[in-house]
Amino acid sequence: MRIRPRQQLLDLWQAVLACSYRDEKWFWGGRDGANSISDAEQLLCLLYPATEIVAFALDQPNEMAADAKTALAPFGEETRIGGVLVALLEEYLDRYTGPDGYPVFAAGGYLRTDEGGPPTDAQLDLEVVDSYSMSLSLCIASMRFLRGFERFVGGEVRLEARQLRERIPQVIDRVSARLTGAMAGLVRSFVIHTPEPKSDAGRAVLDMINQVGAPSEDVIRRLSARLERLRVQAANEVRLSQTTEIDVADDERLFECGWGWGIVRTAEPIDFVPGHVGSATGHAEPRPYLYFTAVALDGITDLSSQRIRELDLLNDDQRELADGLQLRFELARSYWSTVARFGGGRWPLEDIPWRTSDGEESDYFSLAVAAMLIQDLVYRDSTEDLARTVAVFDQLARRGRITSRITSGDPAATLHHPGVRLRLAGTENVGDGGQLQWHVPDFVTMMLKRCLQAARLRTDVDTRDQLMALAEAAMDHLERRVLPSGPAAGLWDDAGRLLSTTADSPDGPSWFVTERVMECLVIAYATFSEPPLAPQSMVARAVDLLSEAEHLLNQEELDVEGHDRSPKQAAVNRIRQSLDRARRVLRERPGTAYGLATQALIQLDELAYARQDATR
């Protein structure tokens, strides 16, 4: 399926409003009920494109694009759209602010039990990294929208505008408080895990990275050398909320870092963050989860964008938290990028499926590690090992039935529905319930997102074509999962259509999947906005043609008399303009330069033929 991000995002906006906004009332929740994560995902489907793409901006109604106004027509005239969004943010903040006035990040209906029954009330209140990361993205998008819309209503004299001028600063303060809580939750959920080599976790790590059967001592020594800079950085710089019991500098121990499923039980309080997020004792086992690490990295990417710094959206406490998160971002990104490619032969990443330190293995974990490797390459604007990583994506796409057919009883189907099961170790100690699970059905959207991001790198044409072919195959897969009818038509996720089951289509949308499709379309928009590739070979061919064309043009000008206003002079002038244009775009668009030079050569040949014919 051809990816058309602008039209598909507009279609998504229309479907979101048809599902969520009826009779001037917003309906929260999807198939998993309403909770702080699902409702944030629902709002982000509107606000994220509006703050990431200039053509979708909603904070200046007078400059709003016509197709955006049409898509959001149920909200009313363009001057009302901003006011409706402000009211939705107020409602969300009311729903997820506790009686003590501090933000709540409970995961609610996204949590599952082993037996399939509902978690206990105490467990429903558990907070996970997803909620912190999604709230961080929502708060950043909200702040960007509110600051821009505040400037607009500042110059309006309507009664509604005067009321909004009073409300918006209060909403900004509440959003800022939630942002602080989300950032603190992410800081306190980061973990550095240093298992003994002979422990179960240590043996699992060694088995995964030792692809040549070398002695364990040699592997540990070589791995420690590769990770020495990260160890030193972690030991000397990670201070905020980090437990002092971990000896990061011990070369005899293994080392991994990332995010647990929630605030880890060894995390120290953060004194300057009020409320339970800054001080409550965590429940998560102090071990990184690949899924939650990838989710946290995505949220921190939104926080560290250039535009956030330019708009000066953060206060002093938030800047300190942001610095702590940036350090953790660099540690985790560099660690998984290094481990994925460790050794001199076959990469651990190429040994599919990836096995985590708790002994679990899945193709999804291989995809998560590959995704973090791509994120590292994009962050460093590097194409190092990109082609080899794309080969891993291609293999995972076939194993995950993105580029091949799902068969009856296919075990790969569980990657898409109900998704990979993650056991949340430590939840069994909360209330009277058992250990909880988290299901992750984003295999396809994770692959689509990373392929589109990698396609922005200045790689070779073949690698980019491979990435775009995988992206289009993933989009085909997702298209077959769109809800075809009902109140949520046009949204996701109907996995039954893909798996050819006879079950009825779900009534409500999965905001989990829908929000991630939206993110992919926003990234596709940014990718398509980049200049095309300019291979040196194409530049060289265009230069050769331009050289010949300009030489022939010089010859033609020798036969044109001064001040000649003949048709030949006009033709020569047009050719000169084309070649000048070709020179200007040569380095950025060599294919266009090649085409202009070719056209000029054809026109020059026509002039030469006409001269020869006249001579005869």
- Taking residues 316-331, what's their average pLDDT? 93
Q: The whole model's pTM is what?
A: 0.90
The tens digit of pLDDT for each residue in 459-472 reads 888 999 999 999 99
Average pLDDT estimate for 533-556: 88
**The token pair that represents 377 in the structure block:** 């390459």
* CA–CA gap between residue 105 and residue 39 (Å, rounded): 11
Q: Quick one: pLDDT at residue 298?
A: 94
What does pLDDT average to over the chain? Answer: 91
Angular region, 285: left φ>0, alpha ψ -120 to 50, beta rest: beta
Structural domain for 564, as ranges: 539-615
In a domain, 610, yes or no: yes
* DSSP code of residue 127: B
With respect to residue 374, please indicate whether it lies within any of the assigned structural domains.
Answer: no
Segment 419-444 mean pLDDT: 92
pLDDT of residue 11: 97
Contact present, 99 and 176 (Cβ < 8 Å): no
Is the pLDDT higher at 146 or at 343?
A: 146
Whether 66 maps to a domain, the answer reads no
Reported confidence tier of residue 242, pLDDT bands at 50, 70, 90: low
C-alpha–C-alpha distance, residues 137 and 390, integer Å: 28
pLDDT at res. 270:
94
Residue 135 and residue 366: Cα distance in Å, rounded?
27
- pLDDT, one tens digit per residue, over 405-414 is 888 888 899 9
Instruction: Say how many domains are in the chain.
Output: 1
Task: Characterize the bridge pairing of strands 25-26 and 361-362.
Answer: unpaired
**CA nearest to 298, candidates 449, 113, 101:** 449
Q: Would you say residue 589 lies in a domain?
A: yes
Quick one: pLDDT at residue 158?
77
**pLDDT, average across residues 384-411:** 93
What is the residue type of 273? Answer: V
| Structural domain includes residue 581 | yes
Q: Bigger pLDDT: 240 or 527?
A: 527
Residue 544 lies in a domain: yes
SS3 category, 420: strand
Q: What is the DSSP string of 569-608?
A: HHHHHHHHHHHHHHHHHTTT-HHHHHHHHHHHHHHHHHHH
Judge whether 111 lies within some domain: no
Supply the pLDDT for residue 1.
67
State the average pLDDT over residues 90-96. Answer: 98
Residue 595 lies inside a defined structural domain of this protein: yes
Determine the Cα–Cα distance for residues 332 and 230; give it in Å rounded to an integer. Answer: 9
pLDDT at 241: 62
Contact 222, 323 (CB under 8 A): no
Residue 578 above 70 pLDDT? yes
Using one digit for the tens of pLDDT, what is the confidence trace for 246-295? 667 677 788 899 999 999 999 999 999 999 999 999 999 999 999 999 99
